[in-house]
Amino acid sequence: MTAFVYEWERYLKGKVQILGISVETPEEGKKLIERVTRDCQDDRPHIPLDPYPVRLLSDPDAMLIRACGTENEGHWAGTIAAPVTYIVDPSGLVKWAYVSDSAADRPSPVALAKAACAVAAGEPTPAVFPGK
Amino acid sequence: MAKLTVGDQFPAAKLNDIDGLAVNFPVVFENAPATVVFFYRGRW
């Protein structure tokens, strides 16, 4: 999530909204926001974070996670979400996807921000996943 | 492997954000010209 915060200015210019979804409770989500905000303020105080770039949603029963097929049922902590990222247009059509089985395998922050801004501008998105 | 992929319609669902505000899919996508949806594991 730190990557979204660090690319805040790019997302703001592109008018891109960012939604993060997990099975975590709202309380855990708030703690995550606090941690990321504190790190950002320490490391990159020039980023104002107003408006805050990320909205976290709680899916405690993994309803949407399963509807998207992004569930990981075999985790020791129970059902969790696999680390999958989508870019979706205003009609709800998926325009870009980055599918991974590992939390360490995430799209390049800059490439993701550029792809999202391209979708926002109605421009073509890369056919190849950045970093793959 | 995720079922949802490029060219698919995002499924309908209703969730709450961490402040308790309702978020309806896919209506929420109308709020911006593009939306990044990222799933994260949580339960660290």
Å from A42 to nearest chain B CA?
A: 22
Q: What is the mean pLDDT of residues A61-65?
A: 95
What mean pLDDT comes out for the span A12-34? Answer: 93
B4:A58 CB<8 A: no
Are A22 and A58 in contact, with CB atoms under 8 Å apart?
yes
Q: Tell me which chain A residue has its CA closest to the CA of residue B41.
A: A81
Question: Exposed e or buried b for every residue in A39-65, given b needs 16+ CB within 10 A?
Answer: ebeeeeeebeeeeebbbbbbbeebebb
- If you measure CA to CA, which chain A residue comes closest to B14? A64
Whether the predicted pLDDT of B1 surpasses 60: yes
Q: Which residues of chain A make contact with B28, given a CB cutoff of 8 A?
A: 17, 19
pLDDT score for A128: 52
Strands B34-39 and A71-72, sheet pairing: unpaired
Query: For residue A129, what pLDDT is reported?
Result: 56
Shortest Cα–Cα distance, B1 to chain A (Å): 7
Report whether pLDDT(A132) > 50: no
Q: What average pLDDT does the structure give for chain B?
A: 92
Tell me the percentage of chain A whose pLDDT exceeds 90.
52
Domain spanning A2-120: CATH 3.40.30.10: yes
Q: Which of A78, A86, A120 sits opposite B33 (nearest CB)?
A: A120
Decide if A86 touches B, using CB distance below 8 A.
yes
Report pTM: 0.91
Q: Which pLDDT score, from 0 to 100, does residue B2 have?
A: 72
